[in-house]
Amino acid sequence: MQRILLIEENEVYRRLLKQHINVIDPLAQVVDHCPVRDGLLPYEFAGSSYDYVVLGSLADPSQGPRWLDDLTRRVNFPPVIYVTDIKAIDQLPAPAESRALGVLYKDKIDHSRLRELMHQAHERRRAEIRRQRQSPNGDRLYRFGDVLIRGERCIRQLAVSALSKVYLAESEKVGRLVVLKIFAHVPDVAEKHATFDRFLQEYQIIAGINHPNVVRIYDLGVADDHAYITMEYFPAGDLRARIRRGMDPGQAPQIVRQMAQALAAVHEAGVLHRDLKPGNVMLRQDGTIVLIDFGLAKQVALEAEITANGEIFGTPYYMSPEQGHGREVEKSSDIYSLGVIFYEMLTGQKPFVASTPMAVIYKHTHDPIPQLPAEQAHWQPMLELMLAKNPKDRYADALQVVEALDRVLALPVGPQTPAIAGNV
């Protein structure tokens, strides 16, 4: 079965091109990419999972030849069939004609010519793949350090820790860039290694949650005695960097709303995040936010507690008082962390800071909740409930946070804004 990447901004014409392709090959899998909706193709993207690319028209006609030139210069990129608005071939900007496998004209698609180009592209791609696989260095593209994972093309290492290594990769199965996380070691089953169990839970629990604000987990596998996960990649970065650059406090409520909706979904699945912080809140190119890194997540109803009694996980700046002291945590602990992030987005500052982690934990437990500046004071009642020292005094669940946000957003901002109902 052929797999084709179709790049076209006009939705109506995108459907038309798909129809042309599927008439010629009913089994072809056409994956569409709309630059306005999906953004630019990352420069690391090599199209390794596609037989060929059909590059259609863009909103700015002058961008077509530039896209063509960029894509066809990428190493091992599949052949490109170029569909252009330009009427005559001699009017195409050089080197558009020479770099494309073939050119079609948008006003009247030559069906037989499209069939011919599809066949040529498929045959050329098959020959290129055979050459790559027969090359002595053919496996080099799929090596992540000492681990060989065929079907995942290694681009570069992103991070490393004692537990795992994280890479940017291109998945031939998914057809896009992914984050690939490799566990440092797969222990013997008899070891009952807690960190490995948590790693498996990260996939098994979160992969089953289908929510727009929860990271997409694509695959789990084992290669060379190492377990690995592939998950969604976020080239737009994380909320931590956005806060550091300086953000409009007016954006904070909608971001918190999306985070609360995601927490409601994971809590409903019986999962606690336990490490909610701006570095674990990613940004999609369309502006939506996504919660990631549930490596510290656990099932609320898990019969056998994996972590040792009193063991502390998470980041002290965003920890609830109970988590900081190693006590049992519930959904309200994630809501507390959400409140800390809310305060930081509104003010640009963390509510509790100190020179040591234990001093920060002490402040979370004993210091009064800081007051927001006057222009943000209408959010203070919500923060009082989110950051309450006693978990029972906080919102009962994340959906109550969403409802409270909506009520405040619907009210005129002023000094007499009423308090927001909490856990009643």
Catalytic residue positions? 275
| Residues 210/217, Cβ–Cβ less than 8 Å | no
* Torsion sign (Cα): 143, 149, 155, 157: negative
How far is the CA of 178 from the CAs of 48, 112, 204, in angstroms?
Answer: 13, 36, 18
Task: Supply 342's token pair.
Answer: 């809310």
> Helix, strand or coil for residue 86?
coil
Determine which helix (DSSP H) or strand (DSSP E) holds 165, and give its type and residue range: strand 164-171
Q: Tell me whether strands 29-33 and 52-55 are parallel, antiparallel or unpaired.
A: unpaired
| Residues 28/4, Cβ–Cβ less than 8 Å | yes
Alpha carbon 64 to chain centroid distance?
A: 28
- Which DSSP string do the residues of 96-151 spell out, in sequence order? HHHHSSEEEETTS--HHHHHHHHHHHHHHHHHHHHHHHHSTTGGGGGEETTEE-TT
Give the residue from 312, 310, 281 showing the smallest Cα distance to 296: 312
